[in-house]
Structure 1
Amino acid sequence: SPDGSTIASGSTDGTVLLWRLTPTSATITFNPDSVPDQTFEVGTPVDLMLPAAIGGTPPYTYTLSALPIGLAFDGITRQINGTPTTVGTTNATYTATDNTGASASLTFTITVEMNLDINADGQVNVIDLMWVAMFYGTRGDGLAADVNADGIVNVEDFAAVAAGVDAANPIPQWAKQALFAALEQAIEIEDVAAAPMQRDKHQRVSSLRLTYDNVAAALSDVSVLAGNDVQLEKWLPLLEELLHLLAEMQSIPETTALLANYPNPFNPETWIPYQLATPADVKLTIYDIRGRVVRDLDLGHQRAGMYQSKSRAAYWDGRNAVGEPVASGLYFYTLTAGEFSATRKLLIRK
């Protein structure tokens, strides 16, 4: 026909029949034409739109089979939404069916992984492992340390993070120094969870005891399994150090005091322990034998407690304010904490 879409048909009785045809694509396709394999983290909300169908005879009906637990598909918006709760890989089939019953499908995988970066600092390291230990045995939904999202922080979570640390980052040299910072964060969480009128010295001691019990339970369980698991065995010293620190942090001395540095004599570094009976702004000043200030160490506001281990004591690297190593000889160090002040001697021997 002239317009390319109308067909005329005649008959012996003089009747003329006309049909207007609308050209259609016989094949249903998608735009874009594929769905990449997807990877999500357990406990993290998902919002993903799948491709629209083209060709065939609209309208289309969309279906999606085999979704991970916690996710749902909306055939009207073509969106996958929800929060996955189970680790694993699912083979998904996405199908579009047109008005004539013709259909086309796309296949892709949905992998749900554990989120091992518990403190969300962008890396999986010893700090994440310590968080598991400090919240060990805690039950509930949405716990960051419950990496497999089974509702409890246990040895399975510890083993998973331990394997992730091995794969992503070996035991760092700063592990012991990081212990105290992680502990303080955990205690802050416990403090904030308490009622405002309870955020006092007694609340902090209670939080420390709870954390101590959690780490002790982790150490007990990991010790049982460590004989058959090299990855777990290598972390036992870390748990023991964590437990030691917690025990130290629970001790509230009766008096504030400046203690003897160690080692002494030393070269080139030393640790200066002290104890606080009450919270205070703490400052340590190093003087030479002539009384001239060699180095000021502002330790900030400190809670009452024992500051004796290397992770908590004041640290001096044997350098002055401009970073130069000081000469051998006798020096003095003065601790100021609120109205308290005391001075002791130390000796650098090179």
Structure 2
Amino acid sequence: MLEHGRLGTRQLATLTIMMVVGDMMMIFPSVITSYAKQDAWMCALIGIPLGMGLMAMFLKLGNAYPNQNLISISRSILGYWPGTLVSIFYLYFFIIGAATHTREVGDFMTTQIFQTTPIRVVILLFTIAIVWAVLHGIETLGRTSEILLPLVIVFIVVLVVSLLPQVDVENLKPYKENSYVSLAQGILVSIIYPIGEAVPILMLLPYTINNPHRNKDIILAAGIGSLILSSLVTISMLVLGAFLTQHNIYASFTLSQKINIGDFFQRIEAFMASAWLISTYFKASIYLYIFVLGTAELFNMKQYRRLILPTGLLIFGLSNVIAPGITYIIITIVPYWVDWDTTIGIIFPGMLLTIHWIKSHSLRKQT
């Protein structure tokens, strides 16, 4: 196997939460509200069990081919050349995803915190950080996630609890004023953005210790990640309202700026930014790791480590040219990203699992 490191079940679960929350922690309230408007909080809640079901589908596919990752699974099910084409599509998504997450960090830091710092400096520093993580291997990345995940959860809990005095239930009214199409779109977004982008788990399963409770823990981790995002959507709508949530791409950051308890506990937006940076860092690192590992698998290379530095340079370049600015990302990229996520997170895994079932049923009939 290309990767000799091994993940424990708890480490894979923490990485799953990081992938689900990831960059969505800051932008998810705005994205889902743009589709579902006043009913975004309901769509987010409905998406929790449905997202756990999607994760169960990923695990079903991965468990059908133990000790194989997504690249070899695609080839085993579809054949060499069709499986290779699907694998290339996935690898392209992973490299673009890593570059996009890196660019999101650059845009956020230069528009909200370091406003006079060139964006290329922030992108370069973040790229160096994720390359450093991947160079140390997936086992080190998993153990680090165990240490930092509690910080992320604590920051989010503090945010939600501190905003409770500013909650206004009237902001959630009127209920169900949108069409069923808008509700369906909101539910799809609540599933496909957080859980669909966790499809890299199919590349990590072969390097994870297969405990009896592994599947249950991973599905629960997906549910926890979706619950965190649902909590952010709900508290954002309760405090800001649907209109401000929809038109503020960094709604969670704005919420943290509104905290003021007794003119003493306030200005904690740096902590919220830290939580978002941590989760986005792990998501981008996993995408980079999956890309180099999958590329090495695709071309039958003996090791993947020699690809890490060139890929880091590629991510740095792509992050700078992927969009001219944050406005372009919001208007042009975000509306179509859900279609891409649906393809790689639902259509392709569903197709692979369906073909696997058909082939297995045919073999059973022949015997």
TM-score (norm 2): 0.22
Structure of higher RCO (CA pairs closer than 8 Å, 6+ residues apart):
2
Q: Which has the higher helix share?
A: 2
TM-score (norm 1): 0.23
Q: Which has the higher strand share?
A: 1
Structure number with greater Rg is 1
